[in-house]
Amino acid sequence: MTATNEHPTILLLPGLLCDASVWTAQIEALRPHAHVLVADFSQHDSLGAMARSALAMVEGPVIAIGHSMGARVGMEMVHLAPERIVKLALIDTGVDSRREGEEAKRQVLVDLAYAEGMGALADRWLPPMVHADRAEDKALLAPLKKMVMRATPEQHQRQIRALLNRPNLMPRLAGIACPTLVMVGRQDRWSPLAQHEEMAARIPNAELVVIEDSGHMTLLEQPEQVSNVLLRWLGVGTKLAGTHTGAAMER
């Protein structure tokens, strides 16, 4: 594993309305090999503020692993402090700026959270985030709903503001110098495979890995696949005992 000491620091960067619970399997897999911390973006309303708060959690070099919004934060961390990011993993994310009509669509969910509560938001928002075949999988969706309900409408609104004001990161990709993992669920309907293929093609030292049978919430839909890919990418250990990765190494 690339770092300056035996146990490097890994910063796990969660996505919209997500907390440390989405990383449970990965934390368990990585902790024997690294000092693992999970960032908290609940109080911030810009990607820049999120990136600065993550960088302030520790001193020195870090391995940044981000999911969805958190991966955008990881790219912002590289922009702010490229010398500190020794490896970067981008999971189920994108690099575009605000799309036409996006603000109105997101405002519907912001209003729903205030009017009917975070449970109603979870019921509307979560099913499209997972593999279409698991949109009614209570075992998968119930802990995700509990996580969303731990958040508040105010947190949701802050993070939506951050996403709506996100920069277009495409021009920055060629400047990412550290080894980079680009990972995506093959059935991700929110952040599709094609845009990850383009991201990996534009980042000089990138590897693209496709997680099979997974939508946007790969960390929870296929936790063993994700953890095994991360262990292999970081150069530590072997795959988790008794598991099959099923991940396609695209490059």
pLDDT score at 67: 98
Whether 232 is covered by a domain: the verdict is: yes
Assess if residue 212 is contained within a domain: yes
Q: Is there a domain that residue 29 lies in? A: yes
Evaluate if residue 105 carries a pLDDT over 90. yes
Q: Do the domain assignments include residue 219?
A: yes
Q: How many domains does the chain have?
A: 1
Q: 245 falls in which pLDDT band (50, 70, 90)?
A: very low
In a domain, 229, yes or no: yes
- Residue 142 belongs to some domain of the structure: no
Residue 105: inside a domain: no
| pLDDT tens digits along 24-79 | 999 999 999 999 999 999 999 999 999 999 999 999 999 999 999 999 999 999 99
Considering the entire predicted model, what is its pTM?
A: 0.92
- Whether residue 187 lies inside any domain: the answer is yes
Secondary structure (3-state) at 56: coil
What is the rounded CA–CA span in Å between residue 47 and residue 53? 10
Residue 246 pLDDT > 60: no
Domain CATH number, residue 238: 3.40.50.1820
Q: What is the pLDDT of residues 126-136, one digit of tens each?
A: 999 999 999 99
Q: Contact, 36 vs 51, CB < 8 A?
A: no
By three-state DSSP, how is residue 37 classified? strand
Q: Note down the domain range covering 66.
A: 9-98+162-249
